[in-house]
Amino acid sequence: MRDLADTSRRSLGVTFREDGRAVVRLWAPTAKSVSLKLKHGTRSLLKQEHGFWELVTADMKPGDAYQFLLDEKLLPDPASLSQPDGVHGPSQAIDIADFGWTDTEWANPNLADYILYELHVGTFTDTGTFDAVITKLPHLKSLGITALEIMPVSQFPGDRNWGYDGVFPFAVHHCYGGARGLQRLVDACHRHGLAVVLDVVYNHVGPEGNYLREFGPYFTKKYNTPWGDAINFDDAGCDGVRYFFIENALMWLRDFHIDALRLDAVHAIRDFSPVHILEDIRRYTTSLICEAWRRHYLLVELDLNDTRFIHPARKGGYGMDGQWIDEFHHALRVTTGQARTGYYEDFDGVGHLAKAYRDAYVYDGQYSTHRQKYFGVKADGCAGEKFVVFSQNHDQVGNRMMGERTSTLVSFELLKVMAGAVLLSPYLPLLFMGEEYGETNPFLYFVHHGDAALIEAVRRGRRAEFASFQSEGEAPDPQAQETFLRSRLQWSLLENERHHVLFAFYQELIVLRKSHNALRYLNRTTLDATANEAGQTLLLHRWHGPQHVWCAMNFSELPQPFLIPEQGHLQKVLDSGDARWQGLAASPDVLLDGNFTLPSQSLVVYTARHD
């Protein structure tokens, strides 16, 4: 098998050389014969080592439709870059390198400076395309966002899907604008000073249009995931499978100039190889960085409080740059009134929120009632930029039965407190599209499958999912177009005064985070968080050098006393209770002895210097 040390070029599917010839390369280790079927005839591929088949031909041009004839069975290319006729149609050749990039001066920011904004391309705008997202980049820039995080865009069945049912990992979904549309979006983001994070799925492949098993042992019966057979990263024949997904990661970074990948649910990846697949992806990403002189990050969604994933290889880790931590979200949501059902049963509210600020992981060795076992390890020594936190995201909104956003579940005052809780944290903050102005439309779970039995199975699965949450009523039909349409953002809400005020409050929080070193530097050793569980309050203290910041949060419905143990003057820099933010009551502008009463459901930030 070819050494992947050369990360400068794509080596699967169809590529085009400088002389115009097409190089066709396919991994099909058990095939007896492989041919390329074009509109004007077929061409045979020659068998190579390790199960690869190759062809160099002048008879194929960019834009041509093609299929593989695999032992007389007609199939699309598993490494296809374009599926204009859907997951069951022929593939389309694209010269992926033929794009006029204008981002040569772009430099990916330090990870610690990422302020993430997660969006779903199909529901972010009414037209649901990459080009439509470009029109909203000035909005995101004015908000203060530094990194756009895009939910998966690999080709999925139908016209609407969250993206986690993708079946062509290399093909950008045609309805969004295809490969060229994504390249235009990334180029535009870089012009606006925004990094781009792409969500990719390496733990499973969707059920409809999944032709991978026709080509080789892409799946294994050794393990299962909640979504079906696990991808074969460590069983017989796994070398070609690992190659396939490593090449996929490299393609996004190299050919689409993506700045970071967010690897979905890596806890569902089963790999007992001496070198874990994540280590391999890390290794080749590092090689690409050294070769191209472009910085890239690898972030993971991880439902395990296991620092092995984010420790570097020299410490026995997999080398991921950071991880999502749901526990901060769970503690925050329980603090603000979320019922303690399902996985929320493990969280007691403001006490656990304070622990999340101090320790990142809430469970770092304690007994988990929900998991029915001792769970987690200490995250000591892991910097704040290793963790991504949020008050909502696609999962935590869309996996509610009715897809309710936080804006419809808590008061306007609590929305501001929750925003501050995330954006003033010592971690990487992530906002979910529309959160910044209080979007009220739900974000529901939607699909567009073509198989009747699969559609019914998805419906049954959604009903079963909410049993542990004791939800009442019926979940919206995931297959119905109306479910998808209800999930679109209402940009006109920004014209409403209260929504505009909330947007301005988010802007102010982000300015505060960027302009105060005590908030900007994500040092977890210069921090303290104290909870008053009886009063439902939390005092977050962060400092850097002589600068100290105190963030007081009152989650209760009553005014609560606070004491900031500080000698000298404390100057107020932000108060959610101010009239400017349509607040109910303001806190003192200056504190002389550290004592004050914080109005109900409000947040105030004070600063001081120790010279």
Q: What is the pLDDT of residues 332-353, one digit of tens each?
A: 999 999 889 888 999 999 999 9
DSSP per-residue letters across 115-134: -EEEE-HHHHSSS-SHHHHH
Q: What is the pLDDT of residues 513-551, one digit of tens each?
A: 999 999 999 999 999 999 999 999 999 999 999 999 999
- Angle in degrees, CA 356, 362, 363, rounded to 5: 165
Residue 427 within a domain: no
The CA distance from 385 to 522, in Å, is 6
Q: 597 vs 141, 176, 570, 587, 601, CA distance in Å?
A: 36, 51, 14, 7, 12
Quote the pLDDT of residue 511: 98
395-406 average pLDDT score: 91
Whether 5 has a pLDDT exceeding 60, the answer reads no
Whether 101 has a pLDDT exceeding 90, the answer reads yes
Q: Annotated active-site positions, please?
A: 264, 291
Q: Assess contact for 585 and 577: CB atoms under 8 A.
A: yes
What CATH code is carried by the domain that includes residue 587?
Answer: 2.60.40.1180
- Residue range of the domain that includes 560: 519-609
Residue 452 within a domain: no
Quote the pLDDT of residue 471: 58
The CA distance from 567 to 139, in Å, is 41
Residue 449 within a domain: no
400-429 average pLDDT score: 96
Residue 140 within a domain: no
Residue 566 within a domain: yes
Quote the tokens at residue 29. 């280790």
234-259 average pLDDT score: 97
Q: What is the pLDDT of residues 176-203, one digit of tens each?
A: 999 999 999 999 999 999 999 999 999 9
Residue 611 binned pLDDT confidence (cut-offs 50, 70, 90): low
Residue 398 within a domain: no
Quote the pLDDT of residue 472: 64
Specify the number of domains making up the chain.
Answer: 1
Q: What percent of the chain has pLDDT over 70?
A: 98
Q: Assess contact for 478 and 466: CB atoms under 8 A.
A: no
Residue 588 within a domain: yes
Give the closest residue to 1 by CA, choosing from 48, 45, 33: 48
The DSSP 8-state label assigned to residue 492 in this structure reads G
Quote the pLDDT of residue 2: 47
Residue 382 within a domain: no
Q: Assess contact for 359 and 294: CB atoms under 8 A.
A: no
Q: At 180, is the secondary structure helix, strand, or coil?
A: helix
- Burial (Cβ within 10 Å: 0-12, 13-18, ≥19) of residue 585: middle
Which of 104-108, 249-253, 606-610 has the least mean pLDDT? 606-610
Give the closest residue to 332 by CA, choosing from 393, 385, 381: 393
The CA distance from 368 to 375, in Å, is 6
